[in-house]
Chain A
Amino acid sequence: MPLLTESKHFIRPDGPDKVTGSGRYVADISLTGMLTAKFLYAGVSHARITRLDISAARQVPGVFAVLTQEDVPERRFGSVADRTLFAKDVVRFEGEVIAAVAAVDAEAAQQGLDAVVFEYEPLPAVTDLEAAIADGAQLVHEGWADYEAADVERDGNIASFTSMIRGDVEAGMAEADHVVSSRYVSDASQPAPIEPRGVLAQWEGDRVTIWSSTQVPFQARDGVCETLDLPTNRVRVIVPHMGGGFGGKCGFHYEAHVAALARAARRPVRLVFSRQEEFIAPDRRREGMIIEITTGLRNDGTLTARRARVLLDNGAYSSDASFFPHMAAMQTLGPYKIDNIHVEASSIYTNRQPSGSVRAPTAPQACWALESHTDELAAAIGMDPVAFRQQNCVDTGETGVAGQVYDEIGLQDCIREAVSAIDYSQELDENEAIGVAVGWWPSFPGPSGAFVKIDSDGKGVITTGAQECGTGSVMTLPILAAVELGMEPEDFELVYQDTSAAPYDEGATGSQTILNNGRATVEAAQQIAVQLKSLAAEKLEASPDDIVLADGKAHVAGSPELAVSIADLAGVAAEGEMLLGKGSGTPPEYPSAVGVDCIGDRGLSGWVGPQFSCHAVKIRLDRETGVVRVLDVSAAHDSGVIINPIGASGQVEGGVLMGIGQALTERTVYSEDGAQENPAFLDYKLQTIADAPPIRVHFVEIFTPGVGPHGSKPIAEAPNVATAAAISNAITKLVGRPVAQLPMTAERVWGLMQGRGGG
């Protein structure tokens, strides 16, 4: 199978809309009679509601609807069903929605909110992870055991737990020449897409159409159906253009609130978040973590055993976070060869903003800890950290930490490429250093569907549930259809992210679009290919098996002059049996992980299509202030065959820069009682273009069977795994010890140089 990278460089179909400003995002859409929605937030991290009176608010001129939990069905949702749409009895974080108002304009809506009477009795806020799991700790969810949800173990403030055990850790440690222990602490951070979310809902009879800036339209739809008691075919979620997500817009969020408001107000209602709300309210931040790792190794570099304990800050509700402990466990073990492991990871309820999937959830923090620790291991035996990784990282045919044997993987190539692209052995100034780290990330197989049709002029439309939040599915899917049909990507239009028009798809989550929707699109296109070949066979008096689709034509194999154009065939088909394809395919199965005992298993020990990466980062340190600047990055990735090079390299560049932010400047600071102190871009510092280093992207293109189309694997999250880790290792080279706190702010680096902090 040839690699696809040649000539598949085309302009994204939604591009002209975006550069001219004609493309509409949710906040750009208005409907006649539309009202403005605003939420009343708890503003306190933990309290019992003693009075909630909205009667005066309903009387405010211009206010059309005011809702609280009283006005919606009593339904809990989230991965462990711990949440209701509006606060019920108790509020558990500052951004919890207590009431919602729809009014003629923002001013009236605000007056409505001001007229809500909300009284409460404060409860002690749980904010310290270790204290939260101590005996007698204040519970975040007092009545948790009574929430109705299937098979969840309920234990104090532990929202979810995973342990992974393989081999004999004690024996492994006993065999070691060195045992190295480290403790790392990561702050929480934020996805921070530049578009704050928006939701617009309009009812027509008993059907509601919701325009939402969601990454997961079907999940959003299902959330509305579940919480408002509606059948799926009465709820249509449409995503117009979407201004970035990074996981922040995964999950079911405010679609039901707005739909309920619109129903009560009998008017279309639109909610658009301010930046402050975007920071405080969604259950989607990157969780803080405490990571303790102990590893045994021999003088020759062999890893004999690893023990680890990971505490994750779950926040007040579990959204989709219950798989995080398992994921964090895998990240703390890493793409290494170790036979004796014991990891325990717990996600712990606190009275802070809930954690949820943000681009490669748990990975940047856990990889940062693991890879900083790995450099400590190499140092313990005086080995170069790159050589140490070359010795210990898994390669094709080898067995990884969870007992899975990996076939056709390119991690070793990634290490070689990243290190050579950055010129690892270059002469460095005394304030400069190069750090290297490896990362890994799984693929997530799942159901997905697509329709493809070719109309009478030979132009195609792909109708898919896939979501496009900037990821590039608008490019990849046409490329895949075009390859099957011997057409050009430009021949296809997309109808996408509309739950009533298209079959199910999981959305822009878990980097899954190429893998799952790609598979569906390919299958749908293949059905049309069969149709085209039989039409051509008739026309060209050949067997369908001998027909080749290429360059917009169907021709007889070996005789390109015996051809008919696809447009002509489409014209014929339009008169009778039309060119329609549908596909979903069969998702690849999870491979088995051998010999791992796993409590709280989320099925993540065996990975489908693991993606590997190696990032090498050159930094410069201002020794007097602790300020670190990243001067150069090389990022080598094994994501299988790359289908859309411009989109893929864009993912890597964006992921690396996000990683630099996480490494150095991005963190959410919480007050003692759980409130965010920096919910604004002024003090939540994303990297600017003035900070962005050159990023050398290299793809180790290995044909990977059984994962995505054409030997591909996903790419969107993997780039966000190893950058902070590589920066940490560079800093350690200059200051002697890891900073051990993430982000590695200038002050923390300086503190380490003063002999304070560090691992």
Chain B
Amino acid sequence: MTEPVMLTVNGIDYRVNVDMGRNLLSVLRNELGLTGTKEGCDDSECGACMVLLDGQPVNSCSYLALQAQGRSVTTVEGLTPADGLHPLQRSLLEQGGVQCGFCTPGIIMSARALLDRNPSPSEEEIRIGLSGNLCRCTGYAKILAAVAQTASDG
């Protein structure tokens, strides 16, 4: 059975029909065409699917779409400015924190939530803030540097 719901994603209201068990990730990707958010695992461990729900990070793969009603969802597409790049996106590129890029949107969303909460995090705070995002390519050094650079650039 599907239910009609209103979801607010990146500031746009969408009316979609979803069944109860549907996760938010699947709705974002398959109904709304927002494929920037990735799916990397079955058990909520990788963080590739990270989005913001009222500004806080959530693993969209294991969050019921119906539970997002009345909340504001932000994906990597919503974070990207109309012109150019968000500072986090820019510093990730400058520092070389992107290799295959599959973890990148999730990393950006977690980092954004961290910096919103704590504009000048210590290195340890960055590590804990991003600990739910696995990256197999980079060894994290350049990701850490990119988040630190974004913070210090203000």
Contacts and interface: CB of A to CB of B under 8 A. Distances in A.
Contacts of A21: 34-37, 75-77, 80, 105
Nearest to B109: A21
B18 interface: no
A432 B50 CA distance: 37
Interface stretch (A256-264, A649-657, A730-738): A649-657
Interface in B36-60: 36-43, 45-46, 48
A202 to B, nearest CB: 18
Given A686-B136, A689-B144, A243 B131 contact: no
Contacts, number: 169
B94 interface: yes
Nearest to B42: A275
A25 B134 contact: no
Interface in A678-699: 680-682, 686, 688-690, 692, 694-695
B98 A12 contact: yes
Contact of B99 (A27, A650, A658): A650
B45 A242 contact: no
Nearest to B101: A18
Contact of A19 (B93, B137, B142): B93
A193 B36 CA distance: 17
B119 interface: no
A24 B100 contact: no
Interface residues of B, number: 50
A276 interface: yes
17 contacts: A12-B93, A12-B98, A14-B101, A18-B101, A19-B104, A20-B36, A21-B75, A194-B100, A195-B40, A195-B102, A275-B42, A680-B41, A680-B43, A689-B143, A690-B128, A692-B141, A695-B141
A294 B112 CA distance: 54
A28 interface: yes
Interface residues of A, number: 55
A654 B99 contact: yes
Interface stretch (A54-62, A343-351, A389-397, A468-476): A468-476
B23 interface: no
Contact of B140 (A17, A241, A689): A689
Interface in B116-148: 126-128, 130-131, 133-144
B153 to A, nearest CB: 16
Contacts of B108: 19
A682 B134 CA distance: 12
Given A275-B43, A653-B138, A680-B45, A469 B100 contact: yes
A11 interface: yes
A735 B134 CA distance: 31
Nearest to A18: B101
A682 B42 CA distance: 10
B137 A470 contact: yes
Contacts of B139: 650, 652-658, 692, 695
B96 interface: yes
Interface string A642-671: 000011011011111110000000000000
